[in-house]
Amino acid sequence: MGALLQVESLNVGLRNGAGVVVPVIENLSFEVHSGRTTALVGESGCGKSMTALAIMRLLPEDFVITGGRIVLEGEDILSLSPKRMRALRGNGMSMIFQEPMTALNPLFTVGDQIAEVLRWHQGLSASAAHAQAVEFLRAVQIPALEQRVNAYPHQLSGGMRQRVMIAMALAGRPKLLIADEPTTALDVTVQAQIFDLLAKLQQDTGTAVLLITHDLGAVAELADDVLVLYAGRCIESGASADLVGHPRHPYTRGLLGCVPHLKLGQRMPAVWSDLGEIAGMVPPLGARGADCAFLARCRDASDVCRSRPQPMLEPIETDHAVSCWRKSEIAA
């Protein structure tokens, strides 16, 4: 069986004030399979959300897809009519946005908004839809549910809005669910519950999930496959356990070193030791040249990196590809 979603050599650009198109995403390729989770990982500004929006065909103005194909169940998304595209959003694919307010209508109660999705995609009666909407809200653990069903989005806290949006995204029973940093705003207990919930949904319905996150540490157990993006380019990809267990690219290794891990049952040393950090920041759009995009921040950079363009994303073993001139030297 083929992939549910195939992204092939996707290129996205931004038309700047002078009418010049600067690259935002370059040559990105990946697949998402039914019942499986693919994660896109990277610092903010690396192009994760733009990839998601390109798939949903919801890119903001001035952003253009300059090359590549996006295929969902054999349908080439980039050539679909707007009408077909609208039908696809919801039960073909749906998205949990990073900013919940962008997806919720401020004029309707959250219960009504979810019920609307259910009536539209499942043809339920008004009362059945409302009853199911309550069930979806219960599933995402909205406290004091009875009052919240009739609340407007602005009356909820950020975390609660996020949960409402998750409920709404699930209501259409999509084949592909794109989750853009779905739990960053939530506290840990709820995060754990939401991920359990997503996993259960995936098991029950075979939904394919494209998970977007900056937390590489969380990815190992949540995703089957991982792509690490840096400055709009995929610099490492592979099966998640392998990639997180044996990262090869200096950026991936840096990202893993940034995450503090809870240490249980052992006394911590009383003195502070700095967290690993990657000095500097992601080069902004328009300032990305042909050489390795990570060059300016890379501690492993050598002459070869400075004299040649960014290397191809090349397999280093089965299911693990890296774009780095020194990939073989950097021990796993």
Ligand X SMILES: Nc1ncnc2c1ncn2[C@@H]1O[C@H](COP(=O)(O)OP(=O)(O)OP(=O)(O)O)[C@@H](O)[C@H]1O
Ligand Y SMILES: Nc1ncnc2c1ncn2[C@@H]1O[C@H](COP(=O)(O)OP(=O)(O)O)[C@@H](O)[C@H]1O
Q: Which residues bind ligand Y (CB under 6 A)?
A: 14, 24, 42, 44-50, 60, 285
CA gap 288, 11 in Å, rounded: 14
Q: Draw the binding track, 49-88, toward Mg ion (x: CB under 5 A; -: no contact).
A: x---------------------------------------
Candidates 259, 304, 312, 332: give the one binding another protein (CB under 8 A): 259
Q: Which residues pair with 31 in a beta bridge?
A: 6
Q: How many CB atoms lie within 10 A of CB 138?
A: 12
285 binds, among Mg ion, another protein, ligand Y, none (CB under 5 to 8 A by kind): ligand Y
Q: Draw the binding track, 147-186, toward another protein (x: CB under 8 A; -: no contact).
A: ----------x-x------------------------xxx
Region class of 138: left (phi > 0), else alpha (psi between -120 and 50), else beta: alpha
Q: Draw the binding track, 300-329, toward ligand SF4 (x: CB under 6 A; -: no contact).
A: xx---x------------------xxx---
CA gap 34, 124 in Å, rounded: 26
Q: Does 81 bind ligand X (CB under 6 A)?
A: no
If you ran DSSP here, which 8-state letter would residue 20 be given? P
49 binds, among ligand SF4, another protein, Mg ion, none (CB under 5 to 8 A by kind): Mg ion
If you ran DSSP here, which 8-state letter would residue 36 be given? -
| In the complex, least distance from residue 156 CB atom to ligand X, rounded to whole angstroms | 10
- Residues of span 16-55 touching Mg ion by CB under 5 A: 49
How many residues touch ligand X under the rule CB under 6 A: the total is 3
Q: Does 298 bind ligand SF4 (CB under 6 A)?
A: yes
The residue among 275 and 290 lying less far from another protein, judged by its C-beta, is: 275
CA gap 81, 329 in Å, rounded: 49
If you ran DSSP here, which 8-state letter would residue 269 be given? P
CA gap 132, 111 in Å, rounded: 9
How many residues touch another protein under the rule CB under 8 A: the total is 50
The number of C-alpha atoms within 13 Å of 19 and in the hemisphere containing its C-beta is 0
Q: Does 265 bind another protein (CB under 8 A)?
A: yes
Candidates 79, 102, 127, 157: give the one binding ligand X (CB under 6 A): 157
CA gap 202, 176 in Å, rounded: 10
Q: Draw the binding track, 106-145, toward ligand X (x: CB under 6 A; -: no contact).
A: ----------------------------------------
Helix H or strand E encompassing 191: helix 188-205
| In the complex, least distance from residue 43 CB atom to Mg ion, rounded to whole angstroms | 10
The residue among 157 and 307 lying less far from ligand X, judged by its C-beta, is: 157
- For residue 295 the two structure tokens come to 């060059």
- Residues of span 189-208 touching another protein by CB under 8 A: 189-193
Q: Does 95 bind ligand SF4 (CB under 6 A)?
A: no
Q: Does 162 bind Mg ion (CB under 5 A)?
A: no
Q: Does 111 bind ligand SF4 (CB under 6 A)?
A: no
If you ran DSSP here, which 8-state letter would residue 209 be given? E
CA gap 187, 162 in Å, rounded: 12
Candidates 2, 35, 276, 309: give the one binding another protein (CB under 8 A): 276
Q: How many CB atoms lie within 10 A of CB 224?
A: 16
State whether residue 226 is helix, strand or coil: strand
CA gap 283, 289 in Å, rounded: 10
Which positions ≥6 away from 23 have C-beta within 8 Å? 11, 12, 13, 66, 232, 285, 288
Residues that bind ligand SF4 (CB under 6 A): 250, 292, 294-295, 298, 300-301, 305, 324-326
Residues that bind Mg ion (CB under 5 A): 49, 98
Residues that bind ligand X (CB under 6 A): 157, 159, 187
